[in-house]
């Protein structure tokens, strides 16, 4: 099946492919070995738990010191 790249860098996927992912609106796009790989993403609810957020930060390598530094940086900017 072919997928067309538009002038706006959008890719139109065949209906047959999309039908396999009902209810999915977002895909994570990555390049692996010269191929475009799309993985379905389910968005987290706004009320994600603090534990879940901390686990994600740990997975991303974000430390409490990074958060403190980011807050200080944001507060130092003039409006």
Cα R_g (the chain), whole angstroms:
19
What are the structural domain ranges in the chain?
Answer: 4-41, 45-79
C-alpha 48, offset from chain centre: 16
**pTM summary value:** 0.49
Q: What are the E-state strand segments in 6-71?
A: 11-12, 26-32, 35-41
Q: Cβ distance 15 to 1 under 8 Å?
A: no
Beta bridge pairs of residue 32 = 35
pLDDT digits (tens, 9 = 90+) for 24-67: 989 999 999 999 999 999 876 655 788 888 888 888 999 999 99
């Amino acid at each position: 099946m072919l997928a067309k790249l538009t002038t706006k860098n959008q890719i139109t996927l065949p209906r047959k492919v999309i039908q396999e992912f009902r209810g999915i609106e977002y895909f994570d796009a990555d390049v692996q070995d010269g191929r475009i790989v799309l993985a379905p993403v389910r968005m987290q609810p706004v009320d994600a738990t603090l534990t879940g957020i901390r686990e994600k930060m740990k997975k991303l390598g974000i430390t409490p010191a990074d958060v403190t530094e980011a807050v200080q940086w944001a507060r130092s900017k003039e409006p």
